[in-house]
Amino acid sequence: MSGPQAAMIFAAGFGTRMRPLTDTRPKPLIEVAGKPLLDHALDLTEGTERVVVNTHYLGDQIARHLAGRTVQTIHEPEILDTGGGLRNALPLLGTGPVITLNSDAVWTGPNPLQTLRNAWKPDQMDALLLLVPVANARGYEGTGDFSQDADGRLTRGPGFIYSGAQIIKPDGLAHIPEAAFSLNVLWNVMQPEGRLFGVVHPGGWCDVGHPGGIAEAEAMLADV
C-alpha cells in the first residue's frame, strides 16, 4: 500500500452533541448498524502499519474495547483538541505525513483513506483534506467549510465540508505554543502559502455527531 502508513483516529472528545447517549459511554462506542463508530473508522485503516487512537472522556471503556488489537492507544489526562492530540501522539506515529480520521462519521463508496493516498502529492501539499459537497452530506446543516479552485487548492468558504479525514504533514505543530488547539490553526498557516489542498469523496458520508445522525447513517448504509 502506497502513501502514508501512520493513522490517528480521534476518540478523546466529550461527545456533548450526542447527549444523553454519551452520559455513560464515549461517543466512539455508540453503535451504528450494530457496530461501534470506532470500529467503522478502524475498518478504513485496514492494512495501515501504525494506527493510534487517542482517549480522554471515559477512555477506560475505549481501552478495554481495543484490548488485544494491533492498535495503540494514548490517553490524554487533559483534553488537547485535534492539533494538540496529534502532536502528543507523534512519538507513536513516527516521522512523516500522517492520516487523521474523526470517529464520528460513516462512509459508503471507495475507502476514503485510499482516495487520499491516491491524490497525495507531498511535493505540492502540506495537507490534503477529504471533502464532501454540501449537497451530498447527510446529518449536516450549513453552507460548507471550504471552496476549491481548479487545482484543488482550498480557501475558507462555501461549497464543501471537511469530512474528518485528511493527510497532513505534522512539522508545523512544533511551532504552536498552545498545549490544546485545533488543526485549523495549522491549516490557516498552510492556506495562504498555497499548500492546503482537497480531494472530493465520491461516495456517501453521514455525520454521526448527534443522536439524529444514527438513523440517517443507518438509512444510508441500507441503501448501498
Alpha-carbon distance of 201 to 161, in angstroms, equals 11
> Radius of gyration of the chain from Cα atoms?
16
**Is the pLDDT reported for residue 36 higher than 80?**
yes
C-alpha cell read off for 14: 466529550
The per-residue pLDDT for 38 is 96
Q: Is the pLDDT of residue 72 over 70?
A: yes
Q: Show the cell assigned to 98.
A: 500522517
| Cell 475558507, located at residue | 156
Q: 94 vs 4, 10, 38, 76, 117, CA distance in Å? A: 11, 17, 22, 18, 18
Q: What is the mean pLDDT of residues 60-76?
A: 92
pLDDT of residue 224: 66
Q: Which residues contact 82 (CB under 8 A, 6 or more apart)?
A: 10, 100, 182, 183
Q: How many CB atoms lie within 10 A of CB 95?
A: 9
Domains (range + CATH), the chain: 6-222 (3.90.550.10)
pLDDT (average), residues 197-210: 93
Mean pLDDT of 60-84: 92
For 128-151, what is each residue's pLDDT tens digit?
A: 999 999 988 887 888 889 999 999
pLDDT of residue 138: 87
pLDDT for residue 94 is more than 60: yes
Range in 42-46, 67-71, 112-116, 183-187 the model is least confident about: 67-71
Range of weakest confidence among 14-23, 48-57, 82-91 = 14-23
